[in-house]
């Protein structure tokens, strides 16, 4: 009986460890959501399907760095690296100090910039003058005034190669930023139903709009 009880305890402990490992991202996410609801702006971490769709705009063969905004637990970060991008070419801007620390541990070869994405010149520091291939944003833009969103989009596009896109998700029914004639277009990129909650992907770029 003691042997059976010991084996049962061991199995239970293994199950608990597996549960913690599997849902560690979700646990960290919910903890940060409680502390900083406006900064997180979602009710659950980005799903893998949406992460892969967002990472699909990355062109690893360009040789240029990629800018990721709001990486959170690193689900999209992982998808970007799976595309074949060299880790040293990825620059991730994360507002949360706890998420930034976790990202540095999980992805030691990428550049993690802890700071405000709405002030990239300061947050990127010595890397502020880099020209990026594209930008992948999981920022909760709907939490901010439209003027701030538009200023951010204009700043991001100015840091990228002409014609290259940035991708942004939103839980709202429309793109979080409107197109601006002569400055940028907004393309409907995808609607990911298999995400919690379902999300729309839009892609502002300086290329002609393809709605």
> Quick one: pLDDT at residue 54?
86
Torsion sign across C-alpha atoms 118, 119, 125, 126: positive
pLDDT of amino acid 39: 44
pLDDT of residue 205: 58
> What pLDDT was estimated at residue 55?
92
Q: What pLDDT, in 10s, does the model give residues 93-147?
A: 999 999 999 999 999 999 999 999 999 999 999 999 999 999 999 998 888 999 9
Model confidence band, residue 189 (pLDDT cutoffs 50, 70, 90): low
Cα 83 from Cα 124, distance rounded (Å): 23
Q: Report the Cα–Cα distance between both ends of the chain, in Å, rounded.
A: 68
The model's pLDDT over 159-181, given as tens digits with 9 standing for 90+, comes to 998 888 888 877 666 677 777 76
Peptide bond into 197 cis (omega under 30): yes
């Amino acid at each position: 009986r003691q042997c059976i009880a010991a084996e049962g305890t061991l199995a239970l402990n293994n199950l608990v460890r597996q549960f913690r490992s599997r849902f560690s991202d979700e646990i960290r996410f919910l903890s940060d959501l409680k502390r900083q609801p406006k900064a997180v702006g979602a009710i659950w971490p980005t799903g893998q399907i949406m992460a892969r769709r967002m990472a699909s705009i990355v062109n690893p063969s360009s040789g240029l760095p990629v800018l990721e905004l709001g990486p959170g637990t690193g689900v999209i970060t992982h998808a970007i690296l799976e595309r074949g991008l060299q880790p040293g070419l990825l620059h991730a801007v994360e507002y949360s100090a706890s998420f930034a620390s976790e990202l540095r541990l999980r992805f030691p070869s990428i550049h993690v910039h802890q700071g405000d994405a709405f002030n990239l010149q300061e947050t990127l520091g010595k890397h502020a003058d880099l020209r990026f291939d594209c930008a992948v944003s999981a920022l909760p833009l709907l939490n901010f005034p439209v003027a701030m969103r538009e200023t951010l989009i204009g700043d991001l596009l100015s840091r990228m190669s002409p014609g290259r896109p940035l991708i942004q998700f939103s839980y709202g029914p429309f793109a979080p930023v409107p197109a601006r004639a002569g400055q940028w277009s907004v393309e409907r990129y995808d609607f990911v139903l298999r995400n919690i909650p379902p999300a729309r992907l839009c892609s502002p770029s300086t290329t002609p709009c393809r709605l």
